Amino acid sequence: MAEIKTVPTRHGNMQIYDDDYYIGRSLDLYGEYSPDEAALFAKLVRPGFTVLDVGANLGALSLPLAELVGKDGRVYAYEPQPENFTLLRENCAGRDNIVIESVALGDEDGHTRVTTIEQFSSGKNYGGAIVGKGDRIVELRKLDSFAWNRVDFIKIDVEGAEENVLTGAAETIARFRPILYVEDHPERGPHNSLLRMIWKLGYKIWAHVPPLFSPQNFNDSTTNVFPNIVNYNVLCLPKEIARRVREQCSPRHVPDQVFEIAEVPRTLSGKVLEVPVKRILMGTPVEKAASRDSLANPASLDYFVEMAKTL
């Protein structure tokens, strides 16, 4: 049976399950979870924003979002899995700008099922609870059924049910045109129904594939227990915003195409190889652009070598 422990993090003390393989383990070892996501949010979320964190788990990203929106903003954190919600409630205690809801979000109002932590096998990923399966019955609601005055940013990480959430939020999205940050599992493929749905909602889409480990972590740990493990997400901006960026800034800020890659090339210390990749795509032989011996995964450059042949 999982035991609860309290660990210091970048965003204050947090409660975790001691056998939670990804989120809990990251908070325990590094004092933060997926810091590159939090860094991206810091570029997008402003004081006073209303943010919806759909699939908040134990609040690992709800807390940095709450810090960004400030005292005049609000983060609404939704987590249907009962044991995760227990930790979410404890971790958000005392934060007046976070509203927590123990409901599942989808494409209709009613009830659905979720797994309990007892139903996870060894090597537990408590962030992998699936809505629609399991022994626990929970409330199910559409985002459109809430009375919103504003919505600026929606983060969705619901283990494959993202399309259902978006369907139930169609009116909210059409009215407020928020920034969307959505998990996109790689097994869906590069031109999947989720991306087509987001495109039809009037959004431009960029892939964001952050690693779980950062060498600049809060605990200054140099040990990467998650080699080559990343989160697969997409950042989605309303096309009218992307159009204004192109017209008022420079076309180079808005890419014409987005490519999904299996892995971001990094050095052994975790640094992203941006310049070497650019040189490879411009025709520089890979052996002159970068030393494969200095890479965490030398094969991560192969994709770009093959792409360069088509340019």
Q: What is the pLDDT of residue 74?
A: 98
- Residue 170 sits in the same domain as residue 128: yes
The verdict on residue 266 lying in a domain is no
pLDDT tens digit string along 118-172? 766 545 777 777 787 888 899 999 999 999 999 999 999 998 889 999 999 999 9
Look at 58 and 187; give whichever has higher pLDDT.
58
- Res. 258 pLDDT band, cuts 50 70 90: low
- Residue 217 sits in the same domain as residue 301: no
The verdict on residue 264 lying in a domain is no
CATH code of residue 168: 3.40.50.150
What's the CA gap between 281 and 208, in Å, rounded?
A: 20
pLDDT tens digit string along 278-311? 889 888 998 888 888 888 888 888 888 888 887 6
- Residue 193 sits in the same domain as residue 283: no
Please give the angle made by the CA atoms of 85, 62 and 95, to the nearest 5 degrees.
85
Domain residues for the domain of 296 are 274-308
In percent, the amount of the chain with pLDDT more than 70 equals 90
Q: What is the pLDDT of residue 250?
A: 56
Q: What is the pLDDT of residue 298?
A: 87
Please give the angle made by the CA atoms of 32, 34 and 35, to the nearest 5 degrees.
70
CA of 192: how far to CAs of 82, 106, 163, 186, 239, in Å?
31, 19, 11, 10, 19
- Residue 154 sits in the same domain as residue 302: no
The verdict on residue 157 lying in a domain is yes
Residue 102 predicted with pLDDT over 60: yes
CA of 100: how far to CAs of 199, 203, 231, in Å?
29, 28, 24
- Residue 94 sits in the same domain as residue 195: yes
- Residue 295 sits in the same domain as residue 211: no
- Residue 74 sits in the same domain as residue 180: yes
CA of 173: how far to CAs of 72, 167, 254, in Å?
22, 10, 22
Q: What is the pLDDT of residue 262?
A: 64
Helices (H) and strands (E) in the chain, counts: 11, 12
**Count of domains forming the chain:** 2
